[in-house]
Amino acid sequence: MKTVKILTGLGLCALLLSFTLGGDRYVIKLDTKEVADQFVTRNASLPTVALPARDRTKTLSVYYSECGRVGTDRSLTLKNSDQQVLKVWRFGDDALETMEISTGELVAAMRSQSNYLYYNSREHRGGQKLISITRAASTAK
């Protein structure tokens, strides 16, 4: 009986420790292909996406959850490797939870090979680096 209680306790502890409680999380998709789904932590790796060289009709969508809530006065900012702002997209409070940008707009704003997309909101003013964006190598047809 004592062994059953200990095993049950250990199982419950393992289950509770497997969940990530609170915190910010984001999901990024290029059309329907998921390119990032992660919680914001200090040691999280930075995902990279290569935008199609010729097809600029795709959509990059970003869902950002601030401790389970959608922020207000949200924006996505494209910066180069020198932290210069290349373009800012703003999303009103009445906008959909998922923020969308066309790849054509992104590629047109990119000035170098190394670019980064940041998330900002009224509640998250510091800016969170989400993803590294590069241009895919064009292939001759």
Q: What is the pLDDT of residue 92?
A: 85
What DSSP assignment string belongs to 106-119? HHHH--SS-EEEEE
In terms of Cβ atoms closer than 10 Å to its own Cβ (0-12, 13-18, 19+), residue 106 is: buried
Q: What is the pLDDT of residue 112?
A: 82
Mean pLDDT in order along the chain per 10 residues (141 residues): 63 46 86 93 88 84 92 95 95 87 93 91 90 79 49
Whether 79 contacts 46, CB under 8 Å: no
Q: What is the pLDDT of residue 128?
A: 93
Domains of the chain with bracketed CATH? 22-135 (2.60.40)
- Residue 114 CA to chain centroid, in angstroms? 17
Q: What is the pLDDT of residue 139?
A: 57
Predicted model pTM:
0.79
Q: What is the pLDDT of residue 78?
A: 97
